[in-house]
Amino acid sequence: MSFPQNASDAMLVNFLKKTGNIKDERVEVVMLRVNRANFCPRNSYQDFPQQIGYNATISAPHMHALALELLKDHLREGSKALDIGSGSGYLTVCMALMANLSISNINKHHSDLLMDGRLTMVTGDGRSGYKADAPKKKNMAWRSHGDSNASLVENLRRNGLFRDERVKMTMLRVDRADFCPRNPYLDNPEPIGSNATISAPHMHAAALERLKDHLTEGDKALDIGSGSGYLTTCMAYMVGATGKVVGVEHIRQLVDLSISNIKKNHAGLLEGRVLIVEGDGRKGFPQYAPYNAIHVGAAAPNVPDELLNQLAPGGRMLIPVGAAHADQRFLQVDKDGKGKVTVNDLMGVVYVPLTNKENQIGRNQ
């Protein structure tokens, strides 16, 4: 029996249709969207199981197609599914997409499924299954797209990403299009050059909401990995005329970009309220410490001591922690008036790593 090696994912899906393995249009669309090559580097498009290491295989495409066909009526909006022996992660992603719902493969090409909670990856004995969470309110992150800055902000508010009126007025005042030329009003992260991104609007909204009580008139704030300058600008308006916000970015081109972005409609902030500096964000910026609020826009392996030392008593830090292309957690770090530190794990996230300049520029090259 021959197992044809197709030249592309589209040709493989077409072959599976011709052989009767794919009949449902939803199955076809999902298998076209999830490129098998991202999960199976060798003979990706051959209708044959392939080794993926650890004495495990990725099943043959016709078996994946058959499974999705048989499960299609149980993979609808709001469904919960369990994939035992998830292996490469290929079928898990297909199931997540059909429900309109490994880690490195999914992070590279389908990280939105992890970010918005449709997909959870765990380590355990598959023979014991996995106890599903109780029904909960649908996560509205990633679903607040607008066709203008005003509609984006309104959708973020309506979907519960923020509640505070000051956050609303600040986000209305700072038009994301000044800082994100491509798809500014989609609720997605977007590339801004130098292997950096501007975070999705829902992450900015959530950050401002959690930091609002530490961004009041006269407060000082530190924005690590300030990138486009968007969040730095928002924080500057919230700390008022007597406050100070320092953005730290280690890529010179991004420092220049953020200053140029701010000058478009907020040039007055650069006359003392906002300072954008080139430097290693892992070391903070001790010159203006301590800070009432610290926001870190890239994932560190752990909470850097330098940043913790620069957090004022009564201050709050938001920081993603975890390795690149692995499990990352968004942490809220609070320091009370006596210096005691409390850490709360808020959610799983996917961020670019907080690294040195050379690693960032060389990433993906």
So which residues are the catalytic ones? 199
**What is d(CA 327, CA 78) in angstroms, rounded to the nearest whole number?**
24
- Give the whole-angstrom CA distance, residue 249 versus residue 255: 6
Give the tokens for residue 111: 């990280």
User: Exposed, middle or buried: residue 283 (CB in 10 Å: 0-12, 13-18, 19+)?
Assistant: middle
- 341 vs 307: CA distance, rounded Å: 12
Amino acid at 116: D
Among 121, 116, 173, 109, smallest CA distance to 144 is for 116
Tracing tokens 């199931």 back to the chain, one arrives at 95
- With vertex at residue 276, the alpha carbon angle to CA 311 and CA 322, rounded to the nearest 5 degrees, is 50
Alpha helix stretches (DSSP H) within the chain: 9-18, 25-33, 61-71, 90-98, 103-115, 149-158, 165-173, 201-211, 230-239, 252-265, 305-309, 357-362
Distances (CA, A) of 194 to 227, 257, 285, 360: 10, 11, 22, 7
What is the torsional sign of CA 62, 67, 70, 73?
Answer: negative
Pairwise CA distance, residues 97 & 87, whole Å: 17
Provide the pairing of β-strand 274-278 with 244-249: parallel
| For residue 290, cis peptide bond before it (omega within 30 degrees of 0) | yes
What are the distances in angstroms from CA 39 to CA 59, 135, 185, 338? Answer: 11, 30, 31, 50
